[in-house]
Amino acid sequence: MSFETVQKNLESLGYTVRTFETGAEAAVYLNTAIDGVSVGFGGSCTAQELGLYDMLATHNEVHWHWVGGPGEREKAMQTKVYISSVNGLAETGEIINIDGAGNRVASTLYGHEKLYLVIGRNKLAATYDEALWRARNIAAPKNAQRLNRKTPCAVKGDHCYNCQSPDRICKALVVLWGAPMGLSVEILLVDEDLGY
């Protein structure tokens, strides 16, 4: 799989795509590109690893429930700019996200002027089916473990069991087949492993 191929496919689907060697370079780019606006974050280990909240909060109004508590979730959904990552990206261009509350996936579809998706190379898969498998069987169990959930995938850490546990975090799945109408989407591909 190559960034060149996935970039070409994503651009044909209406996305703006930028590539970076490191997460640090992508963070500097975002810190320059986003200035003086309201910014929301979805639950994203990638954004956390890059220190984006602290960086952007110095010159933007920033909302993230991981920092300010549950009330920030709704505020983040009403911002001009939204930043998230993904659980799987197919080389063919399909973008896959799984969510528990639905706020993150909803914000990748509608309601913001600009959406930035920061995606490390570890999220790439050759096909849609492989990207979906990755989202369900790698990203979801790791997130359930991080949140100390009592689900089979968190306990065993091996794959999705399609469980009905009350602790299940896989409540919604969104596939972007292309950039949603009326939403400017910029994808930052980073040649480092980032997040889950």
Q: Which of the residues in the chain have pLDDT under 70?
A: 1
Q: What pLDDT shows up at residue 1?
A: 66
Distance CA 76, CA 37 (A): 12
Cα-Cα-Cα-Cα torsion 138, 149, 82, 90, nearest 10 degrees, comes to 10
The whole-number pLDDT of residue 157 equals: 87
Q: Torsion angle, CA of 121/158/133/169, rounded to 10 degrees?
A: -90
Tell me how far apart the alpha carbons of residues 29 and 109 are, in angstroms, rounded to a whole number. Answer: 23
- Give strand ranges (E) for the chain: 16-20, 38-41, 61-63, 81-84, 88-90, 95-99, 114-120, 124-125, 172-176, 184-190
Q: What is the pLDDT of residue 103?
A: 93
At 70 the pLDDT is 87
What tokens appear for 157 in the block? 């850490």
Residue whose C-alpha is closest to residue 96's, from 193, 194, 180, 176: 176
Per-residue confidence (pLDDT) for residue 86, from 0 to 100: 98
